[in-house]
A and B are shown apart, each in its own frame.
Chain A
Amino acid sequence: MRTTGRGTRAARSRWRPAMTAVAAFVLLVVVWELVKLVVPDDGVSIAGTRVLPRTSDAAMPHVWTVLGRLSDPEVAGAAQQRSIGAAVLSGALFTLRLSLGGLLLGGVLGVLLAVVMQRSGLLERALLPYVVASQTVPLIAIAPLVAGWGGKIAVFGQPWQPWASVMVIAAYLAFFPIAVGMLRGLTSPRTADVELFGALACGWWTTLVRLRLPASVPYLIPSARLAAAAAVIGAIVAEISTGTRGGIGRLIIEYAQAATGDPARVYTAILGAAVLGLVAAWAVGLLDLALRRYQGVAR
């Protein structure tokens, strides 16, 4: 039977990525420790140029040191004890919320832009160059600009919050792949399909909802993956360049400043950022799963 065949395949394909992910992590740990074991503390230099990095505990802490650091208190002897792990977790959650918010905001903006550009060739020619140009402007230049909105504008009576700047910047990076991918998807139906909808006396809206949007799902999903990654990077960089507190970006900066004394600490923040990216990718995986039936045979 076709259905049962597909069922077991689906079950297998659901577990295989998880197993692969665990195996990849174990491999990474093994390679890390192996490099530490084999390469001398001072790295390897050929004719005065270092070709392999230092592997001293200051440059490359042991994996267990990094993991162990998670349970250490963030500030030694402080009245309110919080472990580094808890700090990283709360920072990652903060940034995750802003990333996903940015992804959602950018996604809506990207889809709307794509729909507008599909609707009108004139608007496509007018808008597309700016859409592309928007991504060549350095984030570092835009971040202070957006952060400067604080105190100058209010949304629905609420004053502009620093976290809103971070979300807007994440959205700024996320909308681009979505807009480009969706535009490609919306124009993907064959002429014959579009004509069929014409023959069925469907207006633009019905054709959009019943033909163009479903047909663009196979293009949306890879775009959304790119956008999710871009939103996470955007949020972290935005936190750093706007000096927003509470997120993993700020934590990376704070811990990096302490890197000479406590090298393992900065790795805990990097670990948090990596896990954050994985969770964001997983969120897109949920979207993928929800829209599975539209991902039929690509034509």
Chain B
Amino acid sequence: MDIKSEHNNNLSTDKENKTTIQEMPEENNIEINEESKEDDIKIQEEIEEVEKDKVELIGEYIREKSFECKTVNAEEFLEEPFLLEVDELLSSIDELKERQEFKDIYTIKGNEVIYLFSDKHITHNYAKNMVMVEERDLLKLVAETVRNESKSYPRPTDSKLFFKSPFKLKREEFNNVLELLKGEQEYTDIKETKASNKALYLYSDKYMTEMHANSLAEWIEVESNQNP
């Protein structure tokens, strides 16, 4: 048996950030070769096995990828070897999230697609950052990271952080982000401060005063060295 299937479906996000399905015309062309019934039965059984618990296969696949430190773009399941229909995919994701044995699988809505990951291997914050990097949403990536650090620890953020994983920005990219942040109304809380060794730190003035941020940056960069 030879199964050919062409999908031209798209998983995207509308203006309200709701997940919708844009279905394109679909053609399925199935040819059956009767010369090898045994083989057919075997393959049919395999297909049924896949059909029977494709949710489990999806879950295992997401875990495997997460172990390799990769989030999974849901559109991957529309391609081989899964070849799911969009409806199938959405219902599978819903079912996956409901199953107790897959409570480690989570979704993140990107601008265009849904991403999945297992928090057995990737934390939520790290996965969120990976998605923003994937989608090159760099202003939001930098601003949200800085806000989180200013609020939670609290501490100013060393600009060199953004050259490390998962950010991996190039210096030019980062400098460009800094310039763009200054012009965006929604990011006016993101400020810069420098330690006496010229190291650049960022902080959000929603959560931290300038003096506090500067003093902490000086401690981290300079003073702590004589107080190890």
Determine if chain A interacts with chain B: no
Q: Which residues on B are within 8 Å of A, measured CB to CB?
A: none
Q: Which residues on A are within 8 Å of B, measured CB to CB?
A: none
